[in-house]
Structure 1
Amino acid sequence: MRTPARLLSRAGALGAALVLAATATAVADPGARAREDVAVEWFDVTAETLSAAGAPTQITNSRTWAIGWTAATRALGRGDSAAYQDAAVAGAVHHTLVTLVPAREAELDAELAATLERVPDGSAEDRGLAAGREEAAALLAEREGDGLDPTSVGVPFAAPQSAPGVWQPTPPAFGPGLQAGNRDARPFLLESPDQYRLAPPPALGSERYERDLAEVRDYGAADSAVRSPRQTETATFWYGSSYTLYTTPLRVALTRSRASLPERAALLALFHVASVDTQIATSDSKYAYLRWRPVTALRAGGDAGWTPLHVTPSHPDYPSGHGTYSGAAEGVLTALVGPRTAPFELTSPTAPGVTRAYTTWRQMSQENIDARVWSGIHTRAADEAGVELGLDVAAHTLRHAHELFR
């Protein structure tokens, strides 16, 4: 797997500049962080809004983050006083959320009023609020019809004709392929959904293919005799939504960064732009190769009763979407806040009562790789390729960030 150092070298001048700013030992403007932290405040508002009434599709929610925080970053480039900047962030994110999640308008209006209450009245506040709203409105118009709404994303994919290696609906629901619509959506920064299409998965019957399938058979079975309790816990911990699981690490990175407000807003924007573009690229590779899932392969090979530890998601094996999301997150966080952080705790809605601690973003990628094998729902090749794809899209996002923040 590519090392973080190699990733940073590929990320371009923006990543290098921001990681230096984010890990600096002193804040350029000490007063900027002494006041109420508007970035953390509106991070929490965004997370709470989407948790309460967001879209049912992960990529649609990431799109909302990407629009709101890209607009905020653009607006921040138009003024530098504290009053202007706080009002600009609040104006951009508020306008985005009210537009895309109108059911939360009353709560969002109250949050905006609370922010503006502590911002000194005057022209700086007025200009910041107007700039944030203008940038949000412009970006919302620019992204209209991008194919990232739940209906477009959720277009069912009919199963192809059955053949060795070809994806088929999986038990117990045997439903149509999901997230197929992602591959037709318009990316933020990728030139096309297939720009980073992966090389083909290991050939059927190859040494790598047989080794990976045997590993899933032994370690991913519901009744596995070799999977340890810790491995079972890992599989269960990472079984849930990557979008949900990575909200806490991103907040940790935001709150611990010593970078300026514009740079921290850019961190949030780039994280979610990379997430959206990675999910689009993931769908492209998945539906280009249509590799069957382990449960289908094992049952077709004569293991008719084999059942995975966790229910297999209804889309092809290669690459793992959890892997791609994790790779994109690792890439952006490594480049912009550094590869390591002080220990932080993470919980998971799919593993109640379990708390894990991490000190590097790479740890989470490695656990995602292992977890999907131990869940019985992905081959290791699909997991590792997924992380690589996410890293590639993250590096592309950082190299082209100047196009986003025009």
Structure 2
Amino acid sequence: MLERSSSARARLRSAVTVAALATSTAFCGTAASASTGPTPKQGGVDVAVEWYDVTADTIAAAGSSAQVTNSRTWAISWLSAARALRSGPRQTAFQDAALASAVHTSLAGLIPARTAELDAAFAATLARIPASPSKDRGVAAGAEEATALLAERAGDGLDPASVSPPYPVPQAAPGVWQPTPPAFGPATQAGTRYARPFLLGRADRFRPEPPPALGSPKYRADLEEVRDYGALNSSQRTQAQTDIAQFWLGSSLTIYNGVLRAALVQSRWQTSRQAELVALFHVALVDTQIATSDAKYTYERWRPVTALRAADTGHPSIPSDPTWAPLHTTPSHPDYPSGHNTYSGAAEQVLTSLIGAHSREPFALTSPTAPGVTRTYTTWKVLTDENVGARVWSGIHTRSADKAGATLGRQVAAHTLRHAARLLS
């Protein structure tokens, strides 16, 4: 691990810890004071939002095919920014320059193919900031923190090859995961459980209890619900349920980028607190995905499509149907717990803890899997509730897997917030 200078460490030790901020009413946006109010924006531009968009655009244009790798890029870029901002004065010139420098340096190091575009965005930001020692100090602090964190996270096992190494197909048996139609592709994300977390420590720290036992009433209820409501040709699924399933089929990272951006825009916070929000959000999500992989490949629970087509469905009262097909294609990894819902639960926990249960104003979301559709929300929990139902109505997860996922995500995120000072001080 690359050590910071003693002066930088001293400055960071003198800062208020994020753990205290996370439990204070001030950090939840319910109080306004000289120390927690918004920072004046250079030229009317919110640099945090500006570089949030640069990060999203950079990852969308040239990011990794592995979602957790992209989450790592977000976490490193914004954690280095949060560290840099806490290391210096509150002057706008320093704060804006430090944030842009940290995110620019991180993204250029992680996605070098976008260096030209990143350099142009960085130059545009710096051009708005009047020349001063604070500006120069901010540029230097941002680059220093980013360089240090890139070195610190090197070899953490979150690269695509480590995330999805070859995984032997388990021996077929009732309840055991098997490759799913139509592609019957290899298992993915099995290696994420071995990656180095930011704060979780052990991948199994919050491992959920085992899924419902085969033959149990709960197992029967789960499988019958997916059979009836998640089928491609379901007569019981409503149009509203189909629409929700289609909307949330999109990448959690992509859709929740819109959620977090809305929170960031509405926060009216000083730049340092904006950076901490984005950093902790994505740190929690990296650790959540590590915990998700651990649970999935510990239990290796089969997917509904495999269970419903099997000669032995796992419950004597559920007949086999070799032709049953889900509304949406089943991803290539085990059922329990639902990754979409671990992600949603973690995001809900971070936003609720740091902002409150509701957004300041209604916010609109779009989804890449529902072109032209906009859904509007005011509370973070509703997003999780929709995700829980959506994966059942898609025919790709049981409700037990969805609920266990949301709980796991909340637990990991709460752990992240409790121990966040370790990252920022």
Alignment CA distance shift 1:266-1:29 (3 Å): closer
| 1:51 aligned onto 2:60 | yes
| 1:257 aligned onto 2:267 | yes
Amino acid at match of 2:194: D
User: 1:122-144, CA deviations, whole angstroms, 9 ceiling, x for partnerless residues?
Assistant: 21111111111010000000000
Distance in structure 1 (CA, Å) of the matches to 2:342 and 2:36: 36
- Which sections of structure 1, spanning at least 5 residues, go unmatched? 1-10
| 1:169 aligned onto 2:207 | no
Shift of 1:30: 6.0
| 1:186 aligned onto 2:191 | no
Shift of 1:261: 1.4
Match among 386, 405, 410 for residue 386 of structure 1: 405
Helix, strand or coil: the match of 1:335? helix
Match among 363, 377, 389 for residue 370 of structure 1: 389
Map of 2:106 onto structure 1: 96
Shift of 1:22: 2.5
Amino acid at match of 1:377: I
Match among 367, 373, 377 for residue 354 of structure 1: 373
The answer on whether the counterparts of 1:146 and 1:185 sit within 8 Å (CA) in structure 2 is yes
Amino acid at match of 1:369: V
Amino acid at match of 1:185: A
Higher helix residue share:
1
Shift of 1:18: 6.4
Amino acid at match of 2:263: A
Match among 31, 43, 60 for residue 69 of structure 2: 60
Distance in structure 2 (CA, Å) of the matches to 1:30 and 1:377: 45
User: 1:257-289, CA deviations, whole angstroms, 9 ceiling, x for partnerless residues?
Assistant: 122211110000000000100000000000000
The answer on whether the counterparts of 1:293 and 1:317 sit within 8 Å (CA) in structure 2 is yes
Distance in structure 2 (CA, Å) of the matches to 1:159 and 1:395: 34
Q: How does 1:15-94 map to 2 (within 5 A)?
A: 15-17=22-24, 20-25=27-32, 28=35, 32-35=39-42, 36-80=45-89, 81-94=91-104
Map of 1:266 onto structure 2: 276
The answer on whether the counterparts of 1:201 and 1:318 sit within 8 Å (CA) in structure 2 is yes
Distance in structure 2 (CA, Å) of the matches to 1:30 and 1:191: 34
Distance in structure 2 (CA, Å) of the matches to 1:324 and 1:17: 26
The answer on whether the counterparts of 1:71 and 1:136 sit within 8 Å (CA) in structure 2 is yes
Shift of 1:155: 0.9
Shift of 1:24: 2.8
Match among 345, 367, 391 for residue 364 of structure 2: 345
The answer on whether the counterparts of 1:343 and 1:358 sit within 8 Å (CA) in structure 2 is yes
Distance in structure 2 (CA, Å) of the matches to 1:29 and 1:124: 20
Amino acid at match of 1:209: Y
Amino acid at match of 1:56: S
Q: How much is the aligned-residue C-alpha RMSD, in angstroms?
A: 1.5
User: 1:223-257, CA deviations, whole angstroms, 9 ceiling, x for partnerless residues?
Assistant: 10111111111111101100001011100000101
The answer on whether the counterparts of 1:298 and 1:306 sit within 8 Å (CA) in structure 2 is yes
Map of 1:331 onto structure 2: 349
Map of 1:116 onto structure 2: 126
Shift of 1:33: 3.5
Map of 1:160 onto structure 2: 170
| 1:306 aligned onto 2:298 | no
Shift of 1:13: 3.7
The answer on whether the counterparts of 2:19 and 2:421 sit within 8 Å (CA) in structure 1 is no
Helix, strand or coil: the match of 1:246? helix
Distance in structure 1 (CA, Å) of the matches to 2:51 and 2:129: 15
Distance in structure 1 (CA, Å) of the matches to 2:28 and 2:34: 9
Alignment CA distance shift 1:336-1:173 (3 Å): same
Shift of 1:28: 4.3
Shift of 1:78: 1.6
Helix, strand or coil: the match of 2:378? strand
Shift of 1:75: 0.6
Instruction: Tell me whether 353-362 or 282-291 shows the greater mean CA deviation.
Output: 353-362
Normalised by the size of structure 2, how large is the TM-score?
0.91
Distance in structure 1 (CA, Å) of the matches to 2:127 and 2:356: 35
The answer on whether the counterparts of 1:19 and 1:335 sit within 8 Å (CA) in structure 2 is no
Distance in structure 2 (CA, Å) of the matches to 1:18 and 1:116: 33
| 1:233 aligned onto 2:243 | yes
Distance in structure 2 (CA, Å) of the matches to 1:401 and 1:227: 42
The answer on whether the counterparts of 1:27 and 1:259 sit within 8 Å (CA) in structure 2 is no
Amino acid at match of 1:382: A
Match among 395, 401, 404 for residue 414 of structure 2: 395
Distance in structure 2 (CA, Å) of the matches to 1:151 and 1:64: 16
User: 1:21-70, CA deviations, whole angstroms, 9 ceiling, x for partnerless residues?
Assistant: 52335664767244321111110110011011111111111101100111
Helix, strand or coil: the match of 1:311? coil
Normalised by the size of structure 1, how large is the TM-score?
0.95
User: 1:77-102, CA deviations, whole angstroms, 9 ceiling, x for partnerless residues?
Assistant: 12121111111101100000111111
The answer on whether the counterparts of 1:39 and 1:265 sit within 8 Å (CA) in structure 2 is yes
Alignment CA distance shift 1:164-1:350 (3 Å): same
Instruction: Tell me whether 59-68 or 19-28 shows the greater mean CA deviation.
Output: 19-28
Map of 1:6 onto structure 2: none
Shift of 1:194: 1.0
The answer on whether the counterparts of 1:27 and 1:260 sit within 8 Å (CA) in structure 2 is no
| 1:199 aligned onto 2:218 | no
Distance in structure 1 (CA, Å) of the matches to 2:223 and 2:182: 20
